[in-house]
Each structure stands twice: as C-alpha cells, then as structure tokens.
Chains A and B, each alone.
Chain A
Amino acid sequence: MNDLLRISDLVVEYPVGGGRRVHAVSGVTLTVRDGETLGLVGESGSGKSSLARALLQLPPPQGGSVLFDGNELTQLRGKALRAVRPRLQMIFQDPIASLNPRRKVAEIIAEPLIVSGVADAAERTRRVRSVMEAVGLDPDLVWNRRPHEFSGGQCQRIAIARALVLEPSLIVCDEPVSALDVSIRAQILNLLEDMKARFGLTLLFIAHDLAVVKSVSDRVAVMYLGKLCEVASSEDLFASPAHPYTAALMAAIPEPDPDLPLGDTKLKPGDPPSPLDPPSGCRFRTRCPLAEPRCATEVPPLRAIAPGREVACHFPLVA
C-alpha cells in the first residue's frame, strides 16, 4: 500500500497573549496509507483536532510538512490550495453546527459541486440525488428541508453526503459520532464503513472512545499532549499496548459487567500538564508509573520496535 498522506514534524501553536503559546501539536510525524482507516485517539486537549485542522491547512500549521498524494500542502496558497481541497474532506463532531441553518439540504450538498465548477444543473441534481441515496436519505423527503428539521444522526448523514459528493480520497472524521446518541452511533459507523468500501476512501478517524476506534481502525495512533505515544495495528495495540499511556487507556475501558472491579490505570494522580508549559523530556512522565530520571532529560523519539509498530518511550512495555 502506498502512503496517501505523509505528515512530518507538524507543529501547531496558538499565541495566547503575554508572549505565551499553547503547544497544541509538537512535531508529529505520521503516515496514512491509501485505503486504510487510521484511528487517532487521545484525551481532550491532546491536539487531535488541531492536528486534523492543520493537515487540512485550516489554518496552515506553524511548522512541518504535509505531503498529500505528491502535493506539499503547506507550500500551496490561494487558488492552488483551493484546487486540491476537494480531495480532502472533513466530517465534524457537531453535525448540526456543521450545516448552515439558513440553507436547504439540497443546496448544502450541491454547494461543493458548484464551487468545483459543475455548471450543469441537471448533472448536479443527478449527483446530489445519487449521493443522498448512498447515505440513506430519501431525496424527495429531504430536498427542500433545512437542517434544524433533522435529528443529529440525519444531520450527520447530510454532512457525510456533502463530504462524499466530490468523491474525495481522504476524509478526516473529527469525532463524527461523539455528539450522537449511542443508538445512532453504530448506524453512522456502518455508513462510514460502507462508504469507504464503495468510494475507495481513506479515513483518518479521530475519537476518544476506544471501543469506536477499535471497531473501525486498521491502525491506531495514540496522542498525548501534542505528541504521538504509539502507532500500531489495531490488533497489536489492543492486545498488548507498548506505551504506558496506551496501557493506562486500555485499563480505563469500562467492562460491561457491574461485578468486576474498575480497572486500575496505575497512573499517578492528577491532571494532564498544561500545553502552555509542557514537561521537559517525555511529556507523559509526570503521570507515568514507570518514569525515571532519564525521562525528564531526554525526549523519547518515536521508534520502531517491531514491523509496523512504533512507540515513543524509553521503557516500552513490549520489547
């Protein structure tokens, strides 16, 4: 499999006044292979969404490179960038906020076609209808309605239709089911899987729900405080986590049995440190049960410990 997307040393920082900066993403290197689903997990504030927006150049990152199918996106500006954009689409966490409340569903889904210069109205109508049917919306029922007339799940279908209508190569799904009812989640996840097979998509799937990530991902990348901890195939990661942080995440997954005791994450108590002033060395060391003096002085690089398995830890749990 070829690499569709290669992110190297990506840096995203936000100024917060007083000369201080939030280090949202600090030197992330990650590849997404053509046709795979890469899960990206991490707790709130770990930089997942910043990473996603930066790779889509919304806005462009402060450093690093984003190589998408031979195009260096960080070097593109204006028209050239807008010409590539249709090939990378995004699905948002809040489906209702991602749709313009003043526009009709048919207009929302046709908008990408108009922007891309599909001038023939009949051709647009045909493509909008076909993509509506693909995502399970009845074109005759939804055509002239507005987003607020729909439930969250239906809105997410509309958003998926809008992302698909240009037949993109990569879709970044930024927590696409977190805002939905549990009963709807499976439907939307199945829809994404179907669409992936049907349109030959590659997905970057961001989530904080490990069960969701496990069910959809071929490979999983774990993020903590703006850095990658571990990248591995879904089976390997869930069977034997190599990074202490991944292990803690696994231990925190609740078991659907009320009689079992809660898993012990073995973490040191406390909150993640502020991204305004991340710890020296390994960013996880302040909460890591295995931390040693070396972790405070030396940043652990992301290194391969087995084929297709990378971890950023001086003392990985899997040798």
Chain B
Amino acid sequence: MSVSATKSTLAAAPASRPRRRLHWALVLPLGWLLLVVFLAITADWIGLPDPAAQELILRRKPPSAEYLLGTDNLGRDMLSRIIYGARTSLIVGICAPFLGFLVGGAIGMSAGYFRGKIDLLAVGFIDVLLAFPALVLALTFTAYLGQSLFNVTLALGILSIPAAARVSRANTLAWANRDFVLAARTIGASNWRILTREILPNLLPPMFAFWLVAISVIIVAEGALSFLGLGIPAPQPSWGGMIADGREALDVAPHTALIPAAVMFATVLSLNFVGDIVRNMVDPRRSAL
C-alpha cells in the first residue's frame, strides 16, 4: 500500500514540475517576442511619428508624456525608432540564419550522409569559413558590396553557414546509421528519398531550436555592424545604430543608448529562453538517450 503510494507520487512529480517551470519562463519571453513582432509588423498603422523626422530644438529629451521614450541626438522620437528598428533587426535576424541554414543544412546533411570525400571537403570548407574572424568577414562584405539591408542579411547569412552545417552534420551522422535508414535501403529507396523522407524529418526539430538561438546571435551581430557604422545605412533605424548614436551623449542623455540596448537585451534573452525550451520540448524521449 505504502509502496504503491510512493510510486504514484514519484510518477506524478516529474510530470508536474516541468509544467510549472514552463509557465513563467515560457510565457514571459514569448509574450515579449510576440509584442516585438506585432509592433514591427503594424508599425505603419499605429500612429507613430516618422522615425526620421528631426526636431532639433527637442533633442535628447528624457521620456515624457509626448515622447514616451524621449528623443535622440537629432530630436527624433525614440519609441518610433525602436519599433521601426525592431523591423530591421527581425528581418535580418530571421532571414540571415534561414539563408545560412538552407545552405549549411544541405552541406551538413550531404557530409554526414555520404561521408568519405564529400565529408572531407565539406568539413574543410566549414573550417576555412570558421577560420575568418566573423565580424571582419561581415565588415568586408558590407564594405565592398555596399551597405543595404540585403547585403547585411547576405553577409550574416554566410556567417551562419558553418554552425548550421555542423549541427546538421552531427544530427545526420547520428540518424544515418539507424536501422530504419538501412530498412529504407533494402526496399530500394534512392539516396535522395532517404535524405528527404527518412533523415530530414528527424533533423528539422533540432535545427528549428538552433535557428531560434541563431536569430538572437544574428541580431547582436547586426547591432555590432551598425554600431561600427557598416550595418544598415541611415536614416533607416536599427537597434545597433541607435546605440552607436546614443554613445556620443551617454553622459548627458544616457537613455538614448540604454533604451535600445535594453530592448535588444530583452529580445535576445527571450529568444534564448524560448530556444532552450523548444529544444527540450522537441523530443524528451530522445534527449534522455
């Protein structure tokens, strides 16, 4: 009797604990991310002042009823710039790793599945790409190709190829030796069919979780590029560019640098939280292995 009671409490405990932990650690970051995405999408329709409109008399004003987050060095509305800046950060943050994951994922899958010479070539290519200091490579790209949203996205996308290739190669290696892949071969399935039907579905969940984390890394990288003046060209607002502008007046108007920094911090932290949780949720059975 007592034994069965202990058993049932033991069985109930692990089921209830992750659910409670999931509660605030998932809802808070997810709520923040949804808010950022919602505002970035609807920025044009919610009555924001023009993010490029200057009001030089009202420069570096602290937050007030009229300017909820104050104004910057040129008297532009900070709230509006933050929200339009979110648009830039999200476009680069989502598209760049997606690009990298398409290319890197395909390279990693081929390397992990075919092994041999293809693997050697792919791993060599990845190592060469990794040997370049990431920021220098991105700077070179935008310096030569010109500063634009597309070029920044392309540069950061190329930077995310090696990480994506490594994740997909490691996962492919693990899956390609499973018996069900052997079974697919015994029925005469082609390599293409095995890769797309047997291995890819098992690769997508970990890749998705990794992609969420990659978004946060890319948002920071885009901020660094803008901070160095080689990111998105002015007057299009971006968080990194705002921090760079605000740095000049850090002593007299600290909010001009701290507010965009805090927003970027919250967004990146939220992405990492959600990414971690998704990775754990992807398959609890397999993570136990």
Q: Which A residues are closer than 8 A to B by beta carbons? A: 53, 56, 58, 81-86, 88-90, 92-94, 97-103, 111-112, 115-116, 148, 159, 162, 166
Contact = CB atoms under 8 A, between A and B. Distances in A.
Contact of B186 (A88, A93, A101): A88
Q: For chain B, what secondary structure do more than half of its interface residues adopt (helix, strand, loop), or is it mixed?
A: helix
A82 B188 contact: yes
Interface of B: 178-180, 182-190, 193, 197-198, 201-202, 283, 285-286
Contact of B188 (A94, A98, A115, A162): A115
Given A92-B179, A115-B193, A148-B285, A100 B185 contact: no
A92 B182 contact: yes
Nearest to B190: A82
A62 to B, nearest CB: 16
B285 A111 contact: no
A24 to B, nearest CB: 16
A112 B185 CA distance: 10
A111 B189 contact: yes
Contacts of A102: 201-202
Contacts, number: 67
Contact of B202 (A58, A89, A90, A100): A100
Nearest to A102: B201
A98 B180 contact: yes
Given A100-B201, A100-B202, A102-B201, A85 B187 contact: yes
B173 to A, nearest CB: 15
A180 to B, nearest CB: 15
B15 to A, nearest CB: 17
6 contacts: A53-B182, A58-B186, A81-B188, A82-B190, A103-B197, A115-B188
Contacts of A89: 186-187
B187 A116 contact: yes
Given A92-B179, A97-B180, A148-B285, A112 B202 contact: no
Contacts of B186: 56, 58, 85, 88-90
B179, B186, B190 pick with most chain A CB within 10 angstroms: B186
Nearest to A89: B186
Contact of B179 (A84, A86, A94, A148): A94
